[in-house]
Structure 1
């Protein structure tokens, strides 16, 4: 009798290597391993071979870096979406793309289920499963961490030894990391105590500020309608642009945050995130918007950005609301075109100039010197009208005070 097929989101690491074997040995599935390359630095030939040697009947390596940048990263930058004012959503917006690729392979291979290695305590289980449900509600979802008897990564290490699965983790080197073209995250181990200062030797994409050059590095970013297109005047494709920015920012120690965040599932977690190139892009884009967007649009867009970030963080990429907010964001980006200059120095990303043909900054109006375009006497009438509610309120209070004084005298 032919076995049912399950598509596994596979990285070749500890968890998914154990899951592949578990699906095969304990559940009786034929496993199809799918590794989606969103920019994590891996030996993909080795991952492919390991999947087959571990027991997969077929393995796919899918290069989705370009799609990740253009269809997920850039729209989120345009939105200005940052979760809880710190987190640049590196893991969050990779998950819907990975889920999309898993669904495509599942449909191609006529699999009945998709399996993932997200834990029952984390956000990724929600992100994967909401995306799968939105794209194909008929697929079964298998989340081993919620059902098997293994309770920790230490247990997984023992299981891997039992089945002779080669792994890189040890009980002394047990950080959980997620990497892509946008960032790398570090969780677990000594980071689980928020009082512990993280050690800079965990960095993979950046140097510590102390090790960064003693002279600043200047970089110019060109944007067209909110999309970054060039570095220092050189027009680049999306992938090359991200790679160059990561290198430039990483060498200057830019883009490391150490935060405690609120997970969707209700608990707090602590993580160290390196997002070198992304930090530059967010800063540059924000500077350009300050130059080209009017006050009311900017104010409302900040509200949209907060909601957009929450939707992405919560795994709700493929939802009508996220798509509707994206449509609003697109309309705000029509004039977000220009050049921003930034100074990178020992972990800092500092604005050093901006210009745009759509700039709403007008030196003739804002100059402290003499001008012929603004009559300062006009401000008096504006202030009188703008402050009229305050004047009326103050008169009311004064009237009540006088009336109360008269009543006290009579009594």
Structure 2
């Protein structure tokens, strides 16, 4: 029997793939789940049990959480990346990491084919296919849901015929949880005018008491939460646990998909949104005007290209080098206040703060120049505009 490595999460689509690949295509299925911070140990055990119950030959859980942060999320923080000013790329960044790990695993066990449960109407199909084609060229890619054009109802019916029961209510919403946030897709996100109901959000609002927290950054990386140095991954995880019960970070993103249609997805990402805003505030105090300006432009491209699955293009390494270089003075503490459904950046403390009163206080007092210096500067700075008006007024008068 030919080996196929199946990207497996235990949900509806990948459960269908397990049965279909085994029963209909006669393949030896080796399932793999890539944990990017979205699964607990208990959940991973349940996923493994489900995989074997569905008839896989072997199952493997790959923990890529640290790799995910080091290779991807770190640069999204450096770049303050929010697609369309809203979405922290919770799923797209994760898929790049997962597809890479799955391709490497397929290569390791010598699989003749690799399979994923993407539909034909989303971004993931392109991300997975492109990365597989790059890392394991020549290995067959099998996509049952896409190729058969199946609806969720048809998948549930097929599984029932093979003795596998799926709770239709659970299948109503597609939920993807990871280190960088949780996405939620359902009937409402297929419309342009409906919002997700309260019960659809994975985390319910249980905390309404405001509290103040601190986040410490060193060279752009979050390393401490509330003065406890716990490392970047732990900061993200604990900040998420702390802020998510406030209902912070809930939103619906509307954007352009890789395949050319508009798409909507709900998400909750309290940790990522707070970290990006806190980091950006620290940068505004510690970087120069042109560092900030070029970072904004380059980071926007980086985020869009990552969203489209192009993480293995060498230009991404070039951009990462720039982003890393720009972080050398982005160190300090950010004070944040949490409230129900919102957060407030109170301020920052940093040895690299360019707002230092040694050089003056904006609107109050200057220490580095005189009034005469400003008069001369203003005259020279506006000289070309002044010349343009004089020349054009002269021409108009003829």
| Band the TM-score falls in, shorter-chain normalisation | over 0.9
Matching residue of 2:163: 164
Q: Shift of the alpha carbon at 1:112? A: 1.1
Matching residue of 1:24: 22
On the 8 A contact 1:217/1:344 being kept in 2, the answer is yes
Please provide the CA RMSD for this pair.
1.7
Answer yes or no: is 1:294 the counterpart of 2:288: yes
Instruction: Work out the CA distance in 2 between the residues paired with 1:231 and 1:319.
Output: 34
Matching residue of 1:317: 311
Q: Shift of the alpha carbon at 1:376? A: 2.5
Matching residue of 1:406: none
Instruction: Work out the CA distance in 2 between the residues paired with 1:330 and 1:206.
Output: 36
Extract unaligned runs of 5+ from structure 1. 404-411
What does the per-residue CA deviation read over 1:72-121, in whole Å, with 9 as the maximum and x for residues that have no partner?
21221112222111110010111121112212221221101110111111
Q: Secondary structure at the match of 1:272?
A: strand
Question: Which stretches of structure 1, 4 residues or longer, exceed 6 Å deviation after superposition?
Answer: none
Q: Shift of the alpha carbon at 1:194? A: 2.2
Instruction: Work out the CA distance in 2 between the residues paired with 1:206 and 1:376.
Output: 57
Instruction: Work out the CA distance in 1 between the residues paired with 2:252 and 2:365.
Output: 48
On the 8 A contact 1:14/1:168 being kept in 2, the answer is no
Answer yes or no: is 1:246 the counterpart of 2:248: no
Instruction: Work out the CA distance in 2 between the residues paired with 1:111 and 1:97.
Output: 19
What does the per-residue CA deviation read over 1:130-149, in whole Å, with 9 as the maximum and x for residues that have no partner?
2222222232211222322x
Answer yes or no: is 1:92 the counterpart of 2:92: yes
Q: Secondary structure at the match of 1:94?
A: helix
Which protein is bigger by CA-based radius of gyration?
Answer: 1
On the 8 A contact 1:256/1:273 being kept in 2, the answer is yes
Answer yes or no: is 1:402 the counterpart of 2:397: yes
Distance 1:56 1:347, change over 3 A: same
Extract unaligned runs of 5+ from structure 2. none
Q: Shift of the alpha carbon at 1:169? A: 3.5
Instruction: Work out the CA distance in 2 between the residues paired with 1:244 and 1:322.
Output: 29
Instruction: Work out the CA distance in 1 between the residues paired with 2:9 and 2:196.
Output: 26
Mapping of residues 112-127 of structure 1, within 5 Å: 112-127=112-127
Q: Shift of the alpha carbon at 1:372? A: 4.1
Matching residue of 2:107: 107
Matching residue of 1:72: 72
Q: Shift of the alpha carbon at 1:167? A: 2.4
Instruction: Work out the CA distance in 2 between the residues paired with 1:370 and 1:294.
Output: 21
Answer yes or no: is 1:285 the counterpart of 2:284: no
Answer yes or no: is 1:386 the counterpart of 2:377: no
**Paired positions, count:** 395
Matching residue of 2:61: 61
On the 8 A contact 1:206/1:276 being kept in 2, the answer is no
On the 8 A contact 2:104/2:135 being kept in 1, the answer is no
Alignment match of 1:304 (pick from 285, 298, 305): 298
What does the per-residue CA deviation read over 1:267-321, in whole Å, with 9 as the maximum and x for residues that have no partner?
1122211001111110111011101110011101100111011011101111111
What does the per-residue CA deviation read over 1:241-271, in whole Å, with 9 as the maximum and x for residues that have no partner?
2221012211222111123221111111222
